[in-house]
Amino acid sequence: MNLFAFLENPENWPGPNGIWARVVEHLIFTGLSVVVAALIAIPLGILIGHTGRGNFLVIGVSNAARAIPTLGLLVLVVTLLSTGTWPVVACLVVLAIPAILTATAAGIQNADREAVHAARALGMTPGQVVSKVEWPLALPLVISGLRSATLQVVATATVAAFVSSGGLGRLLINGQRLQDYPQMFAGAVLVAALAIVLDVVLGAIGWAVGRRARPRGKTAESPAAVPA
């Protein structure tokens, strides 16, 4: 049996149910879920990290999200609402929030205290301290949290197929129903390839952001940067 037969057949790529359409659907699930999770988790993480209050919330949310079975939550949401993109996204958001929230709170809280104290001594407002000092220093760690959340969502978005939604999970479900092992293999390979590509892209962004942040830190610490 040629496991690559489904991928090698050019007829399986175009069309509304083709491989390209499934990849786009999977990316839509992933992108929407991570963006919505970031809009919730990043401001909350900044608030917790800056004030030093609410660390129990970070731990509680992280533990609760890990304990929730994604498939069970997805079936519940679809039963209460309907099938479609947003019920799937809502479930994946729950999975993505903990990694982003934890990384953001830790990044803000662990920002260079000397730089923070210096900013306050210069008369900066709390908002300016966050935007000009803590956030730039925390950004590499925030991107790391986004990277982790994205990988989790890419892998878990395959469950969307269980409630008649799209994505690469359809290849797994259809392949299992038809006992078409090359199609199942294609779904697994494409999910893994998509995860690797997104991981490399976000890793490169994190590396670039971290590299830009380091020279600034060195400049700020150098004697020439301190006024006489």
pLDDT surpassing 50 at residue 51: yes
Cα separation, 105 vs 189, in Å, equals 34
pLDDT surpassing 80 at residue 67: no
Residues 1-5, mean pLDDT to the nearest whole number: 85
Average pLDDT, the chain: 85
Q: Judging by beta carbons within 10 Å of its beta carbon (0-12, 13-18, 19+), is residue 146 exposed, middle or buried?
A: buried
pLDDT surpassing 60 at residue 217: no
Q: Which helix (H) or strand (E) holds 118?
A: helix 113-121
Residues 197-214, mean pLDDT to the nearest whole number: 87
Return the ∠ at Cα 159 (arms to 157 and 161), rounded to 5°. 105
pLDDT range class, residue 224, cuts 50, 70, 90: very low
Residues 113-140, mean pLDDT to the nearest whole number: 90
pLDDT surpassing 70 at residue 36: yes
Residues 173-197, mean pLDDT to the nearest whole number: 93
For the chain, what are the domain ranges?
Answer: 5-112+119-222
pLDDT of residue 74: 75
pLDDT of residue 164: 67
Neighbouring C-alpha atoms within 13 Å toward the C-beta of 98: 17
What's this model's pTM, rounded to 2 decimal places?
0.86
| Least confident interval from 108-112, 133-137, 163-167 | 163-167
| Least confident interval from 117-126, 164-173, 212-221 | 212-221
| Least confident interval from 15-24, 138-147, 163-172 | 163-172
Q: Which CATH class is domain 5-112+119-222?
A: mainly alpha
Tokens at residue 150, please? 């994205």
Interval 8-19: pLDDT, tens: 999 999 998 899
pLDDT of residue 108: 93
pLDDT range class, residue 25, cuts 50, 70, 90: very high
